[in-house]
Structure 1
Amino acid sequence: MKCFPHGCLTYGQGPAGTAFSSLVTHLLAAQCLITEPWPKDYSYGLTSGDRFDFIIVGSGTAGSLLASRLSEDNSTVLLIEAGGDPPMESIVPNFSGATHKTRNAFQYYTEVDENSNKGSISEISYWPRGRVLGGTGSINGHLHMRGSEGDYAPWHLEENDGWDWPTLKKYFMKSEKMVDPLILNNPELRKEHGTEGQFVVDQLNFTHGDIVEKLTNAYKELGLTYLDDLNGPTQMGVGKIRGGIHKGRRVSTATAFLNPASERKNLKVMKHTFVNQIEFDEKTNKAIGVKVSLLYGDIETYYANKEVILSAGTINTPKILMVSGIGPKKHLKELKIKVKSNLPVGQNLQDHVRIPIPVTVDTGATQRDEHFWLKAAAQYLLDQTGPHTTNYDQPNINAFLSVEDGKSLPDVQIDHNYFVPNTSYVFSMCTNTMSFKDSICKQFADFNKDKELFIFFVSLCRPHSRGNILMRGNNPMEHPKIFSKYFNDTRDMDTFVKAIKKVTEIVNTPTLKAMNAEIKRINFEGCDDLEFESEAYWECMARTVTYNVYHPVGTAKMGKEKDPESVVDSRLRVIGVKGLRVVDASIMPTIPSVNTNAAVMMIAERAADFIKEDYKIKENKKDEL
């Protein structure tokens, strides 16, 4: 059978043929428009030895925002990024996961740990970190959560240190431009949010509204309170999630802050540029610049009149510090690195850890065929609406609960995936994103065969366990050793198992019973002989299907200057040297109960004002074009 009995030219003639041909042409051209006005690359447009007031290393969530704030006046700013412009997959919300195992992310893995990751490929945890403008904020899951006052109490150590909750709340709100009508039209909710900032926050949508309604009802039947705003005074309950997706595109600090500032003459951005080390004045121990490697191997040095600021993230910031002589004295001496300041760099590593709990249900949903996804692609190209404008498989609610009643902060956070029957990519999602072994991922695919599948991701909000990062050698480009040490503190496993037992009671609620909900057993050697759903079984699962939440923090801990655990002081200045500051998630003394991206933005806003105060820089929001 021939599709076209006549030549194609015949079908292209006449009004109908012209209309259809125009549509095809438009669709082909439309994908070229899915980009952003990224800043010009000056990696080969500057001269080695050039000077700037501030050099910022890393254009991630903190670095892009900070570069924008510090260049608001006449200060000259150099922003250095190891990667390049985010790809189309970063911009289109549904494809964010496709950025992970690409050149757009640092391919980091933890070391083998006997306490976790038995079911992971090579028994190690995969930790991708963004290597593009916007950093990990350009490849993450879009959520914008700030936590509550209790999350930040350990950060506030002294009167007037600038880390009290009223001050932090002000800086959270400074960046934010809330556009969700449900928030804006409710005066009590609106007062908790910023509406004049540059980072647009909106309600995240989900294609299967009926599924969200059922899941929400089940949590309410479990005893959780429905919260209109998960960024309100408490997260204890269940509610809709909000984040950085607006008009069908990702919002990151690169799109919200860096791009609008990119035409400023006093701001230069170097892409595909790797910082090898910080340069110091040997007499004064002051950071005076950075030595970098360009894309084609050129080695150049750039100098800072005022400060070098590290915003390279929880893994790369301690790596740069240590290779530059700032870190644990014993470790640096073993690597034959001259010690400039003996500090516990790389210690205090924390991360949210979670496991996936598979639950099959039956609501009568059917498989999505190729036609559905072709239509979704066309819909996005034509007007940037439809399934690709969301995290398609992620119901737009989260739940938070504690093991014991009466607590002000949650013990676990629960997010979800939902798959219609016979979803074609469940196996690949399991192997590529969650990085589990084939034997486990085949089971997940089998659970989804002819049945709808929920995955309840239960994550530990405030772990006691602490990991660390060490250098492998003195080569700045070599990946460091990452010791996650999940569940290294027995209190974590005790809380986690009890919380899982509480969460899984949801299958006994009337709503999920009506959906024929069933928790599925994951078979794995060492767990198979344990009673299903017993505490011993869930502990075995926690050590087997261990899955990180991509929220590492804490490796350059902020604290009092004389505290032996501190790396930076309360104004984020590196202790023991001059002219060097850290502004990213590595300074967090403790991890918040929630996703960390919003907190990193707050840190950058807080740091920008510290720096302006220290150098008596007057804020001037009028761009010099």
Structure 2
Amino acid sequence: MTSQFLGEQCAAQSVGTFNTMVNTLLQTLLAAQCAISPPELWPPDHADEALKNGLDTYDFVVVGAGSAGSVLASRLSENPNWKVLVLEAGGDPPQESEIPTLIFSMEHTGVTWNYLTEYSETSCWAFVDRRCYWPRGKMIGGSGAVNAMFYVRGNRRDFDGWAKAGNTGWGWDDVLPYFERSVQSVGNDTYPQGYLSLNRFAADDPDIEEMMYKGTAELGIPRVFEFTEGSYIGYSNLPLTLSNGRRMSSGKSFLAKLAQRPNLHVIKNALATKLNFDADGKRVSAVSFKLRDKYEMTAKVKRELVLTAGSIESPKLLLLSGVGPAQHLKDLQVPLIQDLPVGENLIDHVQVLLFIKLNEHVSPKSTSLDDLDSTYNYLIHRAGPLATRGTASITGFINTLNDGPYPDIEYQHFNLRRGAFGGLQIFVDSFNFQEDFKAQLRNVLETADLLLVGPTLSNPKSTGRLQLNGTNYKYPPMLKHNYFSDPEDMATLLRAIRFQEQLVNTAAYRALNASLVLPTIDECDAFESQSDDYWRCYIKYFSCTIYHQSGTVKMAPETDATSCVNPRLRLRGVENVRVADASIMPKIPAANINAATIMIAEKAADFIRQDWQEVY
């Protein structure tokens, strides 16, 4: 943009000096925007070299550069004698990935897998075609580059439960050192310090923050600064994988930071399509992949193939390669390699979206000018509202039965100031809301602030299933979530809603004129308002994912018929394939799962070192 062009836009002309000043400012802002996510922030792409000279045989091929794969590849490449290749289906994260407030803006784009669940009679009815939208990250960092950035370990009961089910070495005391290893030194020189940066940020809406803490205190729920062994109950401003106003996914902090190692190669836009087994089906010799949706290539595996593509893509690749339930593969005419329950045990933290209006008819605290100030502040200083998660980082863990120190519900929050229609549009579009419900929420925002609350099942009992939709690798799989197939899940969510009703009636919430928004739903409005029958109907409409799909390549002892991988994460019946992502979780932790996924990768790296008896 030239100074002459700028001058022609105004009725009053400039002699040139001010045009030059404005042009300099614009160029500074554009440079600052480009600096949000420059190419040098990410690992170099080995694709051109591979196309030109072919691929060597690699000791380890890691499929997927997400939260787990980035950590695992980084750790394996610490041994200079091992050659490590990473295949990532996506490319570098976009600028929006770096900006904490813009997490919802990446959904329904090319940097996400845009999955839809199958139709269900029990849930997701408020959304287009009555199907839930399940986005997963398709870029360096994977879903860790598109998630809400919470870093929560879960609790002792979660992992002691894994061990009790026969997964030796996965109890709380076993996994705790691996959580610690990712983010800090473990106090000796055996392993390098972790690379993950964690920070807490003050909420940028102090009145709403104060309301939540005071309101929950009225109900006997403490504010917690650090969860301890004594109790996992309370409201807290959770740590985030965030540093200096920018996301710190493991794709950046582990993989990109160390990608200059000569023994570590990353190929982007490389979608793995098939694992190639030896004739006896006991070893994988190579993995086929499609590069840039154009070139067919193969990477040879010398030691191990490590699958870290996530809870949807990992089982999908195994099924396409002949590893899965025999009857399902027979129906699709896929030659059977191993008969394993791949795709079963699909677990998710289902939530129900509740809406609370605040400060009705009070003058709005934000304006379009504030938005411009926030954008400038972020571009120049990496600070301000765009650099935090606001009240979204305030999370509650509640035991609705009051029968112990462990939660059965997690509450997450997202607030919009009156008139923030752009933010609302991004939110409702991301979830695929039907137009009628979009309009109803927009009407609320005309006169009030809007607080969205997501009571989430911490320990869901219902499990679903993932199956192939055909043998073409481009076809998305069938995702059957089976939310509420176990009636206990519905009963727990009903108690969670009752808690929220009590909270809205506290003095702290009444001080901001809080009230529940009950959208018009003909089917539900036939019941007495806020009765159990009403809320069951409401849940059918406004239940959805919180993006924590897991369990589809279940870890269990090899004597367990539900086992896909053993406790050392080796694929049953196969000598040199390991799976090391959220898909191996036998039960989902009662927390956001990104921290546990990173822990799994750290532990898998140790298994590999031990099994190959390399001096580390």
Same fold (TM over 0.5): yes
CA deviation map 1:222-264 (0-9, x unaligned):
1102211247653211111111111010000011100111100
Which of 26, 29, 47 does residue 28 from structure 2 map onto?
26
| Counterpart residue type for residue 41 of structure 1 | D
1:408 positional shift:
2.6
Residue 265 of structure 2 aligns to a residue whose secondary structure is: strand
Residue of structure 1 equivalent to 2:558: 561
Residue of structure 1 equivalent to 2:5: none
1:509 positional shift:
0.8
Matched, 1:156 2:153: no
Report the Cα distance in structure 2 between the residues aligned to 1:284 and 1:242, rounded to whole angstroms. Answer: 44
In structure 1, runs of 5+ residues without a counterpart are 179-189, 620-625
CA deviation map 1:37-81 (0-9, x unaligned):
211111231254520000000000000110000000121000000
Which of 377, 380, 384 does residue 379 from structure 1 map onto?
377
Which of 423, 430, 435 does residue 433 from structure 1 map onto?
430
CA deviation map 1:188-208 (0-9, x unaligned):
xx9xxx995210000033211
Matched, 1:212 2:209: yes
CA deviation map 1:465-486 (0-9, x unaligned):
0000000111122110000111
| Counterpart residue type for residue 69 of structure 2 | G
Residue of structure 1 equivalent to 2:70: 64
Matched, 1:141 2:148: yes
Matched, 1:552 2:562: no
Whether the aligned pair in 1 keeps the contact of 2:281 and 2:337 (CA below 8 Å) is no
User: 1:79/1:319 Cα in 2 relative to 1: closer, same or farther (>3 Å)?
Assistant: same
Whether the aligned pair in 2 keeps the contact of 1:418 and 1:454 (CA below 8 Å) is yes
Residue of structure 1 equivalent to 2:46: 42
Residue 83 of structure 1 aligns to a residue whose secondary structure is: coil
Identity of matched residues, %: 33
Whether the aligned pair in 2 keeps the contact of 1:419 and 1:453 (CA below 8 Å) is yes
Which of 328-337 and 150-159 deviates more? 150-159
Report the Cα distance in structure 2 between the residues aligned to 1:80 and 1:573, rounded to whole angstroms. Answer: 20
Report the Cα distance in structure 1 between the residues aligned to 2:59 and 2:412, rounded to whole angstroms. Answer: 43
| Counterpart residue type for residue 440 of structure 1 | F
Report the Cα distance in structure 2 between the residues aligned to 1:10 and 1:477, rounded to whole angstroms. Answer: 55
Residue of structure 2 equivalent to 1:388: 386
Whether the aligned pair in 2 keeps the contact of 1:332 and 1:338 (CA below 8 Å) is yes
Report the Cα distance in structure 1 between the residues aligned to 2:572 and 2:306, rounded to whole angstroms. Answer: 13
Q: Where do 1:7-406 residues align within 5 Å?
A: 7-12=13-18, 20-36=22-38, 37-46=41-50, 47-48=53-54, 50-74=56-80, 75-157=82-164, 161-177=168-184, 196-230=193-227, 234-283=231-280, 285-362=282-359, 364=362, 366-392=364-390, 394-406=391-403
Residue 353 of structure 2 aligns to a residue whose secondary structure is: strand
Residue of structure 1 equivalent to 2:465: 468
CA deviation map 1:291-321 (0-9, x unaligned):
1111152211111110001100000001000
In structure 2, runs of 5+ residues without a counterpart are 1-7
1:503 positional shift:
2.3
Which of 245-254 and 3-12 deviates more? 3-12
Residue 198 of structure 2 aligns to a residue whose secondary structure is: strand
Whether the aligned pair in 1 keeps the contact of 2:582 and 2:597 (CA below 8 Å) is yes
1:342 positional shift:
0.5
Report the Cα distance in structure 1 between the residues aligned to 2:155 and 2:165, rounded to whole angstroms. Answer: 19
1:402 positional shift:
1.5
Q: TM-score if structure 2 supplies the norm length?
A: 0.94
Residue of structure 2 equivalent to 1:182: none
1:25 positional shift:
2.6
Which of 408, 411, 419 does residue 408 from structure 2 map onto?
411
Residue 49 of structure 2 aligns to a residue whose secondary structure is: coil
Report the Cα distance in structure 1 between the residues aligned to 2:61 and 2:529, rounded to whole angstroms. Answer: 55
Whether the aligned pair in 2 keeps the contact of 1:54 and 1:307 (CA below 8 Å) is yes
1:31 positional shift:
1.1
Whether the aligned pair in 1 keeps the contact of 2:101 and 2:387 (CA below 8 Å) is yes
Report the Cα distance in structure 2 between the residues aligned to 1:435 and 1:160, rounded to whole angstroms. Answer: 38
Report the Cα distance in structure 2 between the residues aligned to 1:162 and 1:328, rounded to whole angstroms. Answer: 27
Residue 8 of structure 1 aligns to a residue whose secondary structure is: coil
User: 1:21/1:354 Cα in 2 relative to 1: closer, same or farther (>3 Å)?
Assistant: same
Whether the aligned pair in 1 keeps the contact of 2:196 and 2:253 (CA below 8 Å) is yes
CA deviation map 1:390-426 (0-9, x unaligned):
224x443111112211323211111112222122135
Report the Cα distance in structure 2 between the residues aligned to 1:32 and 1:302, rounded to whole angstroms. Answer: 34
Which of 41-50 and 438-447 deviates more? 41-50
Whether the aligned pair in 2 keeps the contact of 1:426 and 1:444 (CA below 8 Å) is no
Whether the aligned pair in 2 keeps the contact of 1:498 and 1:535 (CA below 8 Å) is no
- Runs (4+) of structure 1 exceeding 6 A deviation are none
Whether the aligned pair in 1 keeps the contact of 2:167 and 2:567 (CA below 8 Å) is no
Whether the aligned pair in 1 keeps the contact of 2:150 and 2:393 (CA below 8 Å) is no
Residue 199 of structure 1 aligns to a residue whose secondary structure is: coil
Whether the aligned pair in 1 keeps the contact of 2:271 and 2:290 (CA below 8 Å) is yes
Q: TM-score if structure 1 supplies the norm length?
A: 0.92
Report the Cα distance in structure 2 between the residues aligned to 1:239 and 1:430, rounded to whole angstroms. Answer: 23
* CA RMSD after TM alignment: 2.1
